[in-house]
Chains A and B, each alone.
Chain A
Amino acid sequence: MAVQQRKRRLIGTVGSILLLSALATACAGNSPKESASGSSGTGSAKATGQTTAQATEQPIDHAQQAKKKFDPPVTITTAIIQDQLDNAFKPGETIENNVFTKWMKDNMGIELKFDFVVGKQSDYDTKFRLLLASGSKLPDVITGMYTDQLDAGLLMPLNDAIDKYASPNLKKLFAQYPQAFDSVTRDGKIYGIPRFLSADEGGVMWMREDWLKKLNLTAPKTIDELEKVLEAFTKLDPDGDGKPDTYGLAVSLKDGMYTWMASADPIFGAFSDYMAPEFRSIGQWWNPDKDGKLVYSAVDPSAKPFLETMARWKKNGYMDPEAGVKDAMKAIEPAVNGTAGVIFGPNWMGQWPLEDTAKTDPNAVWKAFPIPAGPDGKIGRVVQMTGGAMSFSKDFKHIDAWFAYMNKMYARQFGKDDPYYDPTFDVGFFEGYDYVKYDGKIIKNGFKEKGVPENMWPLASGKEMDMKYALYALNGAFTPTVPYLGDPGYAKFAADPNAQAANAAEERVKNLTKTQLEAGNVRQTQNQADKYNAFGGPLSETMKSKGGLLTKLESEAYLKIIYGDKPVDYFDEFVKEWKASGGEQVTADVNSWYESTKKK
């Protein structure tokens, strides 16, 4: 059918030109959304260090700036991905016109306009591609840093603006994590403001506590113990229905050994000092070895015992036999429908999806445990530090207004002492939106359960509103975050759900369920296991031309070994082939970038 054929051709073309895959960005954190021009980013000194050392701009008076209303009002244009619908806005309000856009106009003198609104990241990338190709004006504030735009000289360097306009606390944050700027810096100039993640997504080991109890087992602390538990879950009928319909581990291997749920990264971390390989990008993961050289985790010899273990588990039926064809969303099904008893993933899984298990099996109890240690006592898991960055059109005239806005939004994270802290937002943003005042209490969720009358609910459905589209449109609908800041909250609120939150980060934690909180505590006990990608540079020419081939080799090798199609020793052959097919060159490129960043 020609119409579909054309559609498919379009899709095929777009797909094959995805220069700016957010996936690559996202997984990298320190994103390789980098250029076709082959610059290897040499000499990109630690820019923040540079700016604070040789501040060329004097910071403005923040206390004054915090109160400033821009007069005449400034207009800031942006574009956004709005992918949430039913609880983002009250009826009658839209992303372009809502309580917060009004507030911004009246209080800060900032008028917000949207050049376009799309529904998902790939659409957003396509639109930017088209904007560039047709020579159209870019929005002032851009979610993501598009290297094409950068190469075309269309993005604004931010070193001076940061010096001058970023609040002191924000600057401190930047200085604390300079590696977050690696991927947005070129030749010493910063082009993007990284968006920090909360870093509390490190995996924990979720297990069916009811099964453990039934089979009289204790939670495993090592991989060997885990293996025994997996065996028991597979063979000893933990759900008591007399059928051999259970197994141990629910896991997704299709996209790599690390994925956002049902991951295998803690298992890899038990054997290796490096991060569990994923199959999408050659930029992930690179970690320093003991000599300070960056190593591609997938080809390190420490992967071999991991593969051996996984292959054995697969052969014995301790894990999902179809893990290799399932992505994260599909891989959680066995956990939710009572087939699997162990699954690795972030602490929030306690609510979704794992809570749903109880709906099919009322006896199901999932509990979070620390990840097991390997034969040498190692533990490790993959964590990402940043989720993209915000960049700006070089024609943007009001970067100070954006910073004023950003400083204000961040202030809630930093606490009352921040010069930009706005007391009107003390308990929440807008009454009737993200909170209601009822019976002398501030209530943010669970309106029905807490007895709030229906006419006071923010939304007719009783759900809480997701304010991030209204509040953070100028940050790409991403809540400003400080890594690890909310950690004290986990213990605090697990003990007392009504305790006081010290800042917005803790507030967010306060909203989590008990299971999630407890899991968060478990996660914190092993924060030393967190590993971050050390490579944040642009992709070299070889990485771009050979990357697809190398990741294909990697994905095939790993899955074939785990599935028993090839023996474990095939790993050595794979490494040889990987090196010969461009891996050697890529490693050299990555390390030369790494060396260049070390010069301070």
Chain B
Amino acid sequence: MRETGIPTVPAPSVTRTRSGRFVSYCRRTWPLHLLLLPAFLITLTYQYFPMLGAVIAFKDYKPWLGIWGSDWVGLEQFRYLFSFPDIKQIMWNTIVIAVQKQILSIVVPVLFALLLNEVSRAAFKKTVQTLVYLPHFLSWVILGGIFVDVLSVQGGIVNRFIGMFGADPIFFLGSNHWFRPTIILTDIWKEFGFAAIVFLSALTSVNPNLYEASEIDGANRWKQAVHITLPAIMPILVVVSTLALGRILNAGFDQIYNLYNPLVYQTGDIIDTFVYRVGLEGGQFSFGTAVGLLKSIIGFALIVTCYRILYKVADYRIF
């Protein structure tokens, strides 16, 4: 853990008393508090005040009655959520897809960053890096149409490729067997380039002297990658992974909404798409908020757990 700070030796008489310590604390840290102030105020106003509105999840919210005027219904919305016969399946779909996505969305960009790091030709490196982040800019509305074509059973590129090996065409978007992998892989494809940027920039902070030194000690690139490069991006990796845990129940509404259809509801219907459809009919605002709250609580619990584990085990605070 980073140890900073002026190794000042304060006058003993000042620090022995409680108030004395407090005064020296203020003198030392007042600039830090000041630096935090603007961010603190904005967060308080625009993030915390609205949070009070989450109480909508426990009410039967009617917009014209306002948040406080609407009836309190306690856990009714949550009971309603779990009353659906499909809810277990939907939750399971969400978790399965989200977990696989989170894992791959860390592993793939990191691998990519490591591989790219091995490239010595700057021009090639820059070109590759620029090309792979482009899919991030395509929206799922457009990609929905593109993937229907690419994955088409009738002459879609992927199936033609498979056909070269003599296999039968696969109905990716209509098959419960293939829908999830399709979702996951296409999402990774879209985002890995952009996500890798974080890791690439972390790699730049690695002291090149370390590489030279290890060369002299006889380490090959592989050992260097494992012992120098990887540890260098470990902090960022850990942070990104932990924060990703907070989104554990976000399996990607935008993407799934544009790619799914009734044939694959069984494996592809996630919490968000389900709530969206229910919302269309019932217009239940409180319901949506309640579901959001549930997701937040679970995500938060996971982050807290991870944070504590890392602190206890590695004495490392990820933030």
Q: Is there a direct interface between A and B, measured as CB atoms under 8 Å apart in the complex?
A: yes
Cross-chain contact A325 with B276 (CB below 8 angstroms): no
The answer to whether A148 and B62 touch (CB under 8 A), given A16-B272, A17-B284, A324-B261, is yes
B291's contact among A16, A133, A281, A552, by CB below 8 Å, is which?
A16
Residues on B with beta carbons closer than 8 Å to the beta carbon of A322? 148, 152-154, 171, 173-174
A: number of interface residues (CB 8 Å): 58
Cross-chain contact B282 with A547 (CB below 8 angstroms): yes
| A134-178 contact mask (Cβ, 8 Å, vs B): 1 or 0 | 010000000000001101111000000000000000000000000
Cβ of A560 under 8 Å from chain B: yes
Cross-chain contact B154 with A8 (CB below 8 angstroms): no
B25-72 residues at the A interface, CB under 8 angstroms: 60, 62-64, 66
Cβ of A437 under 8 Å from chain B: no
B300 → chain A, closest Cβ, in Å? 14
Docked Cα-Cα span, A16 to B261, in Å, equals 18
Residues on A with beta carbons closer than 8 Å to the beta carbon of B279? 15-19
Cβ of B253 under 8 Å from chain A: yes
Nearest opposing residue in chain B for A547, CB measure: B281
Cross-chain contact A555 with B265 (CB below 8 angstroms): yes
B206 → chain A, closest Cβ, in Å? 24
Cβ of A532 under 8 Å from chain B: no
Cβ of B109 under 8 Å from chain A: no
Cross-chain contact B253 with A12 (CB below 8 angstroms): yes
Cβ of A563 under 8 Å from chain B: yes
Cross-chain contact A563 with B148 (CB below 8 angstroms): no
The answer to whether A151 and B247 touch (CB under 8 A), given A279-B262, A544-B284, is no
Docked Cα-Cα span, A20 to B284, in Å, equals 10
A34 → chain B, closest Cβ, in Å? 9
Residues on A with beta carbons closer than 8 Å to the beta carbon of B288? 12-13, 15-17
Cβ of B74 under 8 Å from chain A: no
Cross-chain contact A549 with B85 (CB below 8 angstroms): yes
| B120-155 contact mask (Cβ, 8 Å, vs A): 1 or 0 | 000000000000000000000000010010001111
Cross-chain contact B277 with A548 (CB below 8 angstroms): yes
B239-271 residues at the A interface, CB under 8 angstroms: 243, 247, 250, 253-254, 261-263, 265-266, 269
Cross-chain contact B148 with A16 (CB below 8 angstroms): no
B244 → chain A, closest Cβ, in Å? 10
Cross-chain contact A559 with B283 (CB below 8 angstroms): no
Docked Cα-Cα span, A313 to B230, in Å, equals 57
Query: Would you list 20 pairs from A and B whose C-beta atoms are within 8 A, ordered by A residue?
Result: A12-B253, A15-B288, A16-B278, A19-B282, A19-B285, A36-B60, A37-B62, A149-B64, A152-B62, A153-B64, A322-B173, A544-B282, A544-B283, A549-B85, A552-B269, A556-B262, A559-B262, A559-B263, A563-B174, A581-B85
Taking beta carbons and an 8 Å cutoff, which residues of A are in contact with B?
A: 1-2, 5, 8-9, 11-13, 15-21, 23-24, 36-37, 129, 132-133, 135, 148-149, 151-154, 245, 254, 279-282, 321-322, 324-326, 330, 539, 543-545, 547-549, 551-552, 555-556, 558-560, 563, 565, 581
Instruction: Give me the 3 closest cross-chain CB pairs, A-B, nearest first.
Output: A19-B283, A152-B64, A16-B288
Taking A322-B154, A548-B280, A555-B265 as known contacts, 19 extra A-B pairs with beta carbons closer than 8 A to each other, sorted by chain A number, are: A2-B243, A5-B247, A5-B250, A13-B289, A15-B272, A16-B288, A24-B280, A36-B60, A36-B62, A36-B284, A132-B64, A152-B64, A153-B64, A324-B262, A330-B148, A548-B278, A549-B278, A559-B263, A560-B263
